[in-house]
Amino acid sequence: MTPCPCGSPLSYQTCCAPLHQGQAAASCEQLMRSRYSAFVLGLGDYLVLSWHPDFLGGLTARELSRMDTRWAGLEIVTTQAGTPDDEEGQVEFKAWFIQGEQRHCLHERSRFTRLAGRWVYTEGVQFPHDACPLPGRNDPCPCGSGKKHKKCCG
């Protein structure tokens, strides 16, 4: 059983894989998690399909699948609307990543809408860097391993 990159307790095969294979997300949080997993796995085609075309800004699947970022954990902070009964929603999240030898955190409030009955990402507003402190040595590792940060990714 391969753990899902999005950090859910479900396996990848039962969590994000069905969405990556074409199943529609039931909520904007589910889409957010599947997009994070797609970034981890380099699934550029999925990222393009799950992005509202008016907000894609010319990015291509090839560009999105060739990023040199190592993703190291996802934390969903809050969700606002974005249920099966809504037309719009927001997900605030923190995503930890490593570029080169440095650990960083992306803290964003992402916006989602329905397009042809499916949830799609439109745009996000990033919080200042200090709004997303990196974990301390004895804090739990954001990758979801359950270990202390110093014994895992730190």
53-65 per-position pLDDT tens digit: 999 888 888 888 7
pLDDT at residue number 128: 81
Between CA 122 and CA 150 the distance in angstroms is 36
81-125 per-position pLDDT tens digit: 999 999 999 999 999 888 877 788 899 999 999 999 999 999 999
- With residue 133 as reference, give the H or E element that holds it: none
- With residue 126 as reference, give the H or E element that holds it: strand 118-126
Q: What is the CA radius of gyration of the chain?
A: 15
What DSSP state is assigned to residue 137? Answer: T
